[in-house]
Structure 1
């Protein structure tokens, strides 16, 4: 693609008009997780939604070159010499023109259609005559003169604002201004080329006047061409209308199927709702039956407890009084029959406890009787030495040896 085309029309003020592609806009679908998968050589992904608002900054933007020779015909890079106070400085760059407007347009390239930002402007041929002349020669000989866009932070920002921060590749500028366009030997964006020159030449008036017959012939040729195109367009329109009718028929058929499916879905949903309602009723009735059954089981188990303890008197049951009261409480609080499964086992435990206490009391009583009998037996044995051990005392006044 031609990088730069100069107008062959030379204005008295020394300006030469040009049109240049500044950079390519990437499709939105190339962005994944706020990172561009398509970008220029500098790793920048330009998107139309963020670049369109910045088109006004192209107006009055400088066209610069970095000359390599004293004749000022050979160019190199941007002319960047450093950064001072956060601002890039291009001491080696020479301003050779400026832009008057910028816009977005589709262009055809060897790689297909591309969406690009284009700038129009003028070169200062009066001051850089040799350079402009060399450019014109290069363009006419098919030499590609490329350019590289320069962007800068917008007012109020500390730097260019990127969608997902600064990335080496795929960074997306969302707030910036266009600060310059430099003609370079190696462009950051291969699409950034000068593509158009005003090739209108100053011609003599007599060469511009056409013979009346030529005019008629041209008009007739144009009419025939338009008629052919009209016929072709009408044929295409008829074909498109036929396709539209076919698509409408397909859509109508699909709408009918969708309606049928919706009706089936509604019927299935109604059946499902009925099943859910029946299910809820069943469980409610089941809960009532479970409650009634539990009440019957409570009465049954209380009767079983009373029957089991009926053979014992109140004194005998005293030893298990707390256990009996606890079991009665558990029986009365039962809400399901499963809560009463261990009642019989607990009744047997209470009976065992009472019986063991009765046996213990019997053994204790038998032991006591045995001890009493033993003491009584020892008292009845005659003391054969009782008389021998008896001492008879006689008072002195009664003693008379004669």
Structure 2
């Protein structure tokens, strides 16, 4: 119920209230003066007052409330970094993952030993491979084709469990069938992960100083685990308790439970605000936010409204010798030029270069096409 609306209670007596029946005249009690009017008897059990329904704020109201006490964004001063765009980062087919085919609003992928078929709104072209290969998929997602829609998995060949073993650059983890058509990993992010681990390795070899990585919207933890394996100290933040559990499970499987990883279940903006007040610092920041999301305490995330505030907070969290800040955006009506302009304003005075473009996956085989998955913008120090 929105603010200012009143509760409307039912009019008239309720059934069984003890009030006299219609046309029945109550009589004066003993000792009453002559001519006194009789009062209806007091009910033995008067009805309890109605409890007004709980007020339910809309998503927009919750979002406005989240931002009510937020100070205006204080944009940094100084020269903007260098600019390079468009940069197209390609994921090639390999032993761990391959995009087998795409078209007619779907994609056919190979994750380790399994072939998986699921919706893909970008694939508006025809398929290349025969229908029999599509029909022979091990797992097929059916249901809502929206990016955040829900549905279920069908296993035409044999029943499969919720998880199956996978690898990423030699690191073992569990693929996972979710009701939102995702499988626990976004393979196009591999190009960012290799960029990050290369930067960590170079810095450790050249300076020997610790490299601290902040992974916001960390999901099932592959970026965090790859960073930790490369030698970084990692803070992994996600608003989903279940996703944090999956990430810890992957850490166990990868033999990295003893590495310096902090697992934080919290709203990303709230955590970043608190870290900025503490004066915390990181050499590398990864941002992989959804278009819309909710925090563990009902917080609302809306990318266009909240990203400028969060990106400036990330600037404050970069150390005095930072290496990179990487931002990826999915399913938004925008362009990488918009992300680049935003990144350029947030990184004023730091030097370096802003690289912006698209993450794409190349199909396997001859006459391959490129499937665009997301936009990105990243600041690099050199």
Please give the TM-score of this superposition, normalised by the length of structure 2: 0.17
Please give the TM-score of this superposition, normalised by the length of structure 1: 0.17
Q: Which has the higher helix share?
A: 1
